[in-house]
Amino acid sequence: MAYQNITATLKEADIKEIKAALEIIHQKLPFLITLSVEEQTQVIQNGR
């Protein structure tokens, strides 16, 4: 779902900083997993 009334711009330095922070999170929390769309739907339906 796209929002027509929202526009955002980020400076290149901010984007790099955000990506670096996300990489640190992935390193610190290696047990996190990515759910498929089907799994996400199932979790939502089960109310978890």
> What tens digit of pLDDT does each residue of 12-45 get?
999 999 999 999 998 999 888 888 889 888 888 8
For residue 40, what pLDDT is reported? 84
Per the structure, the count of domains in the chain is: 1
Range of the domain at 26: 12-46
Structural domain includes residue 2:
no
Contact 40, 32 (CB under 8 A): no
Structural domain includes residue 36:
yes
For residue 48, what pLDDT is reported? 56
For residue 35, what pLDDT is reported? 84
Higher pLDDT, 11 or 45: 11
Structural domain includes residue 24:
yes
Dihedral sign, CA of 44, 46, 47, 48?
A: negative
